Chains A and B, each alone.
Chain A
Amino acid sequence: MIHDMIAIIDEYWLLLLIGQYPNGPLGGLANTLILSALSIVIAFPFAILLAFARLSSYRALRWPVTVLVYVTRGVPLLMLVLWSYFLVPLLTGADVPSFLTMLATLVVYQGAFLSEIIRAGIVALGQGQMDAARALGHSWFGAMRYVILPQALYNMIPSMLSTFVATIKDTTLGYVINVPDLTFAASQVNNQLLTQPFQVFLILALTYYVICWSLTALTNVVERRITRRRAGLGPRRRGEIALPLTPKVTEQL
């Protein structure tokens, strides 16, 4: 059994790593990681804007974002992937690679989740910080830029990392629209071998496990450091109640 698996890895490691590249599009594990990283990098500023909109006192800004957040929380990612696959070519009028379709889906999906994390982080800081900044004459955006966000984002680093892990897991759904990622490569291998599906999919599962486990371990280390730092550096007032770390609202998939 283990012998079979080693033989499969020995034969197909390059396909699993980079897909058909350079004879075809980049795929495999490399594409999975690129897709996840790009999604988070784009989703992040998007999420900050969404969080601002949700905290806004204008109903016209608050409402659409609230609806978006509830839709992403209530509708399976699979449905959203199908929607993108249908809508993105329709809206752009072009033949869009499935990679970009998946990227768009993940940006919206994780953006909405991240925005909830960011919002919770801002709310957890309390009104005092905003009051103090405004009393000194900072504008709302100035207060956000120099006082609120530096603290909120720092406290949220663990949540961001776990969102990254969640995104890696989410990319597997690209399978239904043939995004050439790691899962896709594994199923190609399976189609070529035909006789050893268990071994192939076990390799696939273990690969994801190693990546996500390492990132989760890193997240835990970072989280402990931040908690310690906050315990040492948080406000120490009489009757102060320790603030909980930003709640993790990441989606599990």
Chain B
Amino acid sequence: MTAPVSNIGNDQTIRLADVRKSYGDYDVLKGIDATVARGEVVVICGPSGSGKSTLIRTVNRLEEINSGSIFFEGQDVHAPMSGRDLNRLRSRIGFVFQSFNLFPHLSAVDNVAMSPIRVKGVPAAEAREKALKLLDRVGLREKAESYPAQLSGGQQQRVAIARALAMEPPVMLFDEPTSALDPEMVGEVLSVMKSLAAEGMTMMCVTHEMGFARDVADRIWFIDGGQIIETATPEDFFKNPKHPRAQRFLADLRH
């Protein structure tokens, strides 16, 4: 019961091979095989508890796995490696959290600039200048000196995206980036994500926003019970889901 592995040339940015993870007796991931090509936007959807968030967290090794492997640009993310190498690897994979996790003691611009300075050794002035550009890009230039608590949820999440982009990662992972937002703020975050996709960023997004999936995704992975049980283009997935559980999932969404 493995999902078909799509191979778009050798242009794979991320490849997951038989990834398995369990918490005690409970199997969260039961053998995931999949690839993400450079420039591709993959949306991961599925019912809650299906393992989506766990899956995306294994890609930058915020979660360990029990077996299988995950390759990022040919490098095995879960191979034994020094802490230094892991940090370097993570700094090249952007990650956006459901709960933003902005650093509350730092202003917006410092949230964005701090890690380039401390992790990559970028000179402070240069990092700040770039941070301001990134804030401009997410439409928050004028909020640069605000602290996270002075920002709305949508603004915080846009700062978090800018913060991840500041490390200049070739790929961005989004873990339910709009689930903690009030409905009126979802749009502003999605539009930033859309513009990223339009610029050719490689993206993996766990999300319930089916409109976003339809408009932006190149492919959809439907996960249930710790397995990818369907991968399809948005067109096929929404018009013509093959797996009964995917059909039920979509039917439930429409209600």
B136 to chain A, nearest CB (A): 20
Residues of B within 8 A of A136 (CB): 90-91, 95, 115, 119, 163-164, 167
B60 close to chain A: CB less than 8 A: yes
CB distance from B146 to the nearest CB of A (A): 10
Question: Does B215 sit within 8 A of A, measured CB to CB?
Answer: no
Is A59's CB within 8 Å of the partner chain B? no
A3 within 8 A of B: no
Q: CB within 8 A of B95: which of A135, A142, A147, A236? A: A135
Most buried by A among B83, B95, B119, B160: B119
Residue in chain A with minimal CB distance to B87? A137
A138 lies within 8 A of chain B by Cβ: yes
Give the interface size class of chain B: 35 or more
A128 at interface, CB cutoff 8 A: yes
Q: Is A154 an interface residue (CB 8 A)?
A: yes
A131 nearest CB neighbor, chain B only: B62
For B3, list chain A residues within 8 Å (CB).
Answer: none
Q: In the assembly, what is the distance between CA of A5 and CA of B147, in Å?
A: 54
Interchain CB contact under 8 A, B91 and A235: no
A22 CB to closest chain B CB (Å) equals: 46
Q: Are B119 and A137 interface neighbours, CB within 8 A?
A: yes
Say whether B99 contacts A137, CB under 8 Å.
no
Q: Which one of B90, B101, B149 lies within 8 Å of A233 (CB-CB)? A: B149
Instruction: Give the Cβ gap from B176 to chain A, nearest Cβ, in Å.
Output: 13
Known: A135-B62, A139-B84. A232 touches B150 (CB 8 A): yes
Count of chain A residues with a beta carbon within 8 Å of a chain B beta carbon: 26
State which residues 122-151 of A face B: CB under 8 Å.
128-129, 131-140, 142, 146-147, 150-151
CB neighbors of A among B48-68 (8 A): 60, 62
Residues of B near A233 (CB, < 8 A) are 104, 147-150
- B182–A238 touching, CB < 8 Å: yes
Residues of B within 8 A of A140 (CB): 83
Given contacts A131-B97, A132-B97, A237-B100, contact A138 B105 (CB under 8 A): no
In B129-171, which residues have CB < 8 Å from any A CB? 147-150, 152-153, 156, 160, 163-164, 167
Give bound CA distance, A147 to B103, whole Å: 7
**Cβ contact within 8 Å between A142 and B60:** no
Contacts beyond the supplied A234-B149, A235-B100: 8 A-B pairs with Cβ under 8 Å = A131-B101, A132-B103, A135-B93, A233-B150, A235-B104, A235-B149, A236-B153, A237-B153
Residues of A within 8 A of B (CB): 128-129, 131-140, 142, 146-147, 150-151, 154, 232-239
